[in-house]
Structure 1
Amino acid sequence: MAPTTLSDGSTILSQGLKLVLGHPWLVLIAFVFSRLVWNKFQPHVWKIPGPTAVAYTKFWRVYDVWKGQAHLTAIDLHKKYGPLVRVAPNHVSVSDPSYIPVFYNIKENYTKTGFYPIQSISWKKQPEMNLFSTRDPSYHRVEKRKVGAAYSLPNLLESESAIDSCITLFMDRLNEFASQQKPVDLGAWLQYFAFDVVGEVTFASKLGFLERGTDVDGMMKAIEGMLTYASLCGQVPEYHKYLLGNPLFSMLMPAMETWNQVLVFTLKAINGRASIKRDGELINADSGGRDMLSRWAYVKSSDPLKMSTRDIIVHLSTNVFAGSDTTAIALRAVIYYLCRNPRIMTKVVEEIDAADKEGQLSTPVSYKESTTSLPYFNAVLKEAMRIHPSVGFLMERHVPPEGVGINGQFIPGGTIVGINPWVTNRNEAVFPDPDDFKPERWLEASEAQMKQMDDIFELNFGGGSRKCIGRNISMIEMQKVLPELLRRYTVTLTHPNKDWHICNHWFVQQEGVICNLTRR
């Protein structure tokens, strides 16, 4: 056979180029194939077990999230594969609770991922990160210093009488259903209550949900849509810049403050108390109140360098967006699991009645009374939040450059790791019979066991410096409204043999908490 000449080589190359140019789909196939292979064999991560498809593409996660049951998938995957599960080409889910303080610490060396910035607003056509969505630890520290004091427990309790007014109105509205012996969608009304509390704490004004008994301005539906988009796109955040994060979108669309329901609603609430000039300047705000708008308006009027109109709008709109869903989810969980467990319901009602008979409870029940005089109720509250946490996804973080060893496996820097509260809250070593609703576990545990349980439970609110800043608002609401509800009404499920419907789009929302109320 004659040796190949330079001319022959040029001919082969020319023919190859003609083949490629004539069939560009071959280039696409080659690119996709090489990308899939690269995804599969990511250094160090490729040995971690998981479903076959997850090693090749993130779209396995997109489909899982789309189905709305990703929290159950996470539990099943860890039961099957162990403490480390590969859930995407560069994502590892961890079930070992000892890594909670590692991933979610005060140093913030494990930074948030591209999942989070999707959940932000724009102001004057510029993206504006909030305390939840920002990935920048320095920015987070600066912004938290501006507003953190308003979320402290002592400052929030200065608004307790305003929260009491919401409880009184809530009970009056429920009494209408009890008097007529009509079933009530208690799950929806609990969210109406949570929204109005957010209004009182944030703007010193109820937002109209309890008064109207409906989804005011379609806010609940709008937030549901935003969360659905964020949860799906958040699995492939690099696509956000081609979708709602596309710069052309902001150029072609009117400013978000004219159409985004959360922002419009926030501005409307602000304008009920203040005025916003065309240039965005906030004027005529009442600086004497205890609500957040008043506090921050006072700071701004005292020193505009410490607080801007932009800061006030971003943080107030975050309250509106995130302030009701998580609280309503926990409230529904308590009611549902109590109704499903009559023995426990009887026991908690007896405790409330005994405290009431001894004169330990005000009307409505105060936060201090609830936390000190009702130990069994507090155990019920924690157990409901353990068995049904509000957040149902991996709380994603980037591994720092030096990498980390987890259960004998080295995870390189840049890998995305995280823990799902639905997984750790069902750790059998810490919570025996984890799927059973057992409030007694919070009263009978040893000191060492209780510390373990509490450390895991706290992940319900996030961890480290990124722990939910609004958690005290939520706890005050729950500690007050639930004992008052159970003191006034006998609550039963209208359809006791029918399970509620759960859909997880970041927040694990429930539907179907339809109840009968009887005045006690």
Structure 2
Amino acid sequence: MLVQSSSYLVPISAIALVVLLGLRLLQQYARLKHVPGPFLAKLTNFERAYWVWTRRAHEIHINLHQEYGKIVRCGPNMVSVESGLEVEKIYRMRDPLKKSDYYHVILPMIKGKILPGLFATQDEGMHRMLKKPIAGVYSMTNMTSFEDLVDRTIGVFLNQLDARFVNTGAICDWGTWLQYFAFDVVGEMTFSKRLGFLEQGKDVENIMSDIWHWFEYVAVIGQIPWADYIWAKNSTVSKLRQSRGSPMVQFAKKREADRALHSDTTGDYDTRDFLSRFMSAMKKDPSIPPWALTAWTSSNVLAGSDTTAIFLRTMFKNLIEHPESLKKLRQELDEAFEEGRLSKPVTWKQSQTLPYLEACFKEAGRIHPPFGLHLERIVPEGGLVLCGKEIPEGTIVGMNAWVVHRDRDVFGEDADSWRPERWLESDDATRRRMDQSLLTFGAGHRSCLGKHISYLEIYKLVPTILLEYDLELVNPDKAWKIENRWFVPQFGFNVRLRKRSPEFNFTDVKDSC
């Protein structure tokens, strides 16, 4: 009888497992049944992982909100919010909502150990420890002290454009060269040494491609974080896996070692760049762990390059695509230059006197924000009311800037269109509401610490390029193919460059590469 009865254990166990799974699915479905959304997304996160895998997630999220409204269920425990008026609730400054496990996927594991990072850490104590000693370095007031380092890279960039494209008539892959510039300028600002993209005209040591490949993984697996624990965050697998290390991190570590040696030898070091200021912060507070230095420097290069490059591409893309905007901006720049209010390269202070440039900057960040997925947070104890619906604690909520920036209640009926004038024609209340709804660099307590690096680069480079060159789009029918390759929907395009003012050159620029 024992043998006979035991023969029923397997099917009974299987039935019990199916029943438990069914009850779990039913429970998950019921707790957010009042939030509309696609049927499969209510049952599994594989649906939203697939959206990201298609590289069209930003478009899919926009379409979902057009179909279902201001609030959409995108997973069994995930809700997407469109309304810009709810930004303050989700990304508040005080008592901030915790980041979801999506961010844990971003952190790399090497030889069984997770490397913490300022942007991705979920631990608020860790975030405070990493941010407090260096937060002042990133203020806009302090950022202007880096201006000569940016000018140095702008000079190299323009010299390379002249030699490779203007003088030869060759076609320039403009999107790629803007990316080279963004990487090299952040290298200059961080280490007083460029990474070498501009001089070599290529992806040095595959730094760009390595970053893209990593985030292609992160973008998809971040929608199903448990899968990351099985493979990338499995300490046993990590210890066995051969790790050659990120070229970007290796570059950072070499610069740190060189600087430390110089400091030990001379008792001093360069006080202008980020590395020297980071080292100074560590010297003042010995409790800061040694790995923080690499976390700071590598985060600078990682966060300050791709997003800035996307922003630069977006501004030039839309100016070329909308000649009436380009004409207005050129008129503003030319008049200021003729009146002696602009130099070459344009300074940060000068750029702040150009209202149409500012309008184009804000509109570029609105129409094509660098981050193309949800900025996820976890609803705290007590729940939240979002768009009139009660969202229970423990739910993942998030906003995709591509969705929020098209909220017609905030940005108007033409929110899908490029129109910089909206920032100049609006009354103070409307403009303030638009500003508060922008997620270009995140919002609230965990907004991008390095956003002022992008501000400095963009406000200086864009007017300098437009004063110096005419850009003609090549093969316009093949341009503007936008793919959400990882976090950032990006595109490339080819141009021909022609000089507007031949007297402008940087032949005396010091080579720091």
TM-score between the two structures when normalised by the length of structure 1:
0.91
C-alpha displacement of 1:283: 5.7
Alignment of structure 1 residues 363-442 onto 2, 5 Å: 363-372=344-353, 374-432=354-412, 433-442=414-423
Name 2:208's counterpart in structure 1.
220
Picking from 504, 513, 520, the partner of 2:484 is: 504
Name 1:112's counterpart in structure 2.
99
Alignment of 1:261 with 2:247, yes or no, is yes
CA distance in 1, matches of 2:405, 2:233: 34
Alignment of 1:445 with 2:426, yes or no, is yes
Q: Deviations over 1:91-111 (max 9, x none)?
A: 011112121011111224311
For the residue of structure 2 that corresponds to 1:516, the secondary structure is strand
Determine if contact 1:120/1:128 at 8 Å carries over to the other structure. Answer: yes
Select the structure of larger CA radius of gyration. Answer: 1
User: Which region of structure 1 is more displaced relative to structure 2, 429-438 or 61-70?
Assistant: 429-438
Determine if contact 2:110/2:238 at 8 Å carries over to the other structure. Answer: no
Alignment of 1:139 with 2:126, yes or no, is yes
Alignment of structure 1 residues 219-298 onto 2, 5 Å: 219-253=207-241, 258-275=244-261, 286-298=268-280
Determine if contact 2:471/2:496 at 8 Å carries over to the other structure. Answer: yes
Name 2:35's counterpart in structure 1.
48
The percentage of counterpart residues that share the same residue type is 38
CA distance in 1, matches of 2:284, 2:365: 41
CA distance in 2, matches of 1:235, 1:422: 18
Alignment of 1:338 with 2:311, yes or no, is no
User: Which region of structure 1 is more displaced relative to structure 2, 435-444 or 132-141?
Assistant: 132-141
CA distance in 2, matches of 1:487, 1:33: 65
Say if 1:303 and 1:141 are closer, same or farther in 2 by CA, change over 3 A: closer
CA distance in 2, matches of 1:264, 1:23: 55
CA distance in 1, matches of 2:343, 2:357: 16
CA distance in 1, matches of 2:48, 2:261: 45
4+ residue segments displaced more than 4 Å: 13-17, 22-32, 122-125, 282-286
Q: In structure 2, give the amino acid aligned to 1:421.
A: A
Alignment of 1:86 with 2:86, yes or no, is no
Determine if contact 2:112/2:234 at 8 Å carries over to the other structure. Answer: no
Determine if contact 1:326/1:507 at 8 Å carries over to the other structure. Answer: no
User: Which region of structure 1 is more displaced relative to structure 2, 211-220 or 259-268?
Assistant: 259-268
CA distance in 2, matches of 1:389, 1:36: 35
Matched residue count: 497
Say if 1:69 and 1:275 are closer, same or farther in 2 by CA, change over 3 A: farther
For the residue of structure 2 that corresponds to 1:493, the secondary structure is strand
C-alpha displacement of 1:319: 1.2
Determine if contact 2:70/2:83 at 8 Å carries over to the other structure. Answer: yes
Determine if contact 1:186/1:514 at 8 Å carries over to the other structure. Answer: yes
Alignment of 1:486 with 2:466, yes or no, is yes
Alignment of structure 1 residues 20-169 onto 2, 5 Å: 20-21=9-10, 29-30=18-19, 32-41=21-30, 43=31, 45-122=32-109, 125-169=112-156
C-alpha displacement of 1:34: 4.0
C-alpha displacement of 1:317: 1.1
CA distance in 1, matches of 2:86, 2:22: 35
Name 1:3's counterpart in structure 2.
none
CA distance in 2, matches of 1:125, 1:273: 28
Q: In structure 1, give the amino acid aligned to 2:69.
A: G
Alignment of 1:301 with 2:278, yes or no, is no
Alignment of 1:203 with 2:191, yes or no, is yes
User: Which region of structure 1 is more displaced relative to structure 2, 169-178 or 445-454?
Assistant: 169-178
Picking from 170, 173, 193, the partner of 1:182 is: 170
TM-score between the two structures when normalised by the length of structure 2:
0.92
Determine if contact 2:112/2:235 at 8 Å carries over to the other structure. Answer: no
Say if 1:125 and 1:296 are closer, same or farther in 2 by CA, change over 3 A: farther
C-alpha displacement of 1:505: 4.2
For the residue of structure 2 that corresponds to 1:50, the secondary structure is coil
Name 2:509's counterpart in structure 1.
none
User: Which region of structure 1 is more displaced relative to structure 2, 444-453 or 15-24?
Assistant: 15-24
Q: In structure 2, give the amino acid aligned to 1:415.
A: T
Unaligned runs of 5+ in 1: 1-10, 277-281
Determine if contact 1:83/1:95 at 8 Å carries over to the other structure. Answer: yes
Name 2:497's counterpart in structure 1.
517
Determine if contact 2:182/2:309 at 8 Å carries over to the other structure. Answer: yes
CA distance in 2, matches of 1:356, 1:116: 45
Name 1:5's counterpart in structure 2.
none
C-alpha displacement of 1:24: 7.0
Picking from 313, 332, 352, the partner of 2:294 is: 313
Q: Deviations over 1:423-443 (max 9, x none)?
A: 111111222211211111111
Name 1:456's counterpart in structure 2.
437
Q: In structure 1, give the amino acid aligned to 2:167.
A: S
CA distance in 2, matches of 1:28, 1:221: 44
Unaligned runs of 5+ in 2: 501-513
Q: In structure 1, give the amino acid aligned to 2:327.
A: T
Q: Deviations over 1:381-405 (max 9, x none)?
A: 1111110001111111100111112
C-alpha displacement of 1:499: 3.3
Q: Identify the structure with bigger relative contact order (alpha carbons < 8 Å, sequence gap 6+).
A: 2
C-alpha displacement of 1:17: 5.4
Say if 1:407 and 1:268 are closer, same or farther in 2 by CA, change over 3 A: same
Name 2:511's counterpart in structure 1.
none
C-alpha displacement of 1:490: 0.5
Determine if contact 2:471/2:497 at 8 Å carries over to the other structure. Answer: yes
Determine if contact 1:123/1:310 at 8 Å carries over to the other structure. Answer: no
For the residue of structure 1 that corresponds to 2:74, the secondary structure is strand
Determine if contact 1:108/1:137 at 8 Å carries over to the other structure. Answer: no
CA distance in 2, matches of 1:345, 1:299: 43
CA distance in 2, matches of 1:20, 1:319: 58
RMSD: 2.2
C-alpha displacement of 1:275: 4.8
For the residue of structure 2 that corresponds to 1:298, the secondary structure is helix
User: Which region of structure 1 is more displaced relative to structure 2, 403-412 or 168-177?
Assistant: 403-412
For the residue of structure 2 that corresponds to 1:106, the secondary structure is coil
For the residue of structure 2 that corresponds to 1:344, the secondary structure is helix
Say if 1:384 and 1:299 are closer, same or farther in 2 by CA, change over 3 A: closer
Picking from 328, 352, 370, the partner of 2:309 is: 328
CA distance in 1, matches of 2:34, 2:96: 25
C-alpha displacement of 1:125: 4.7
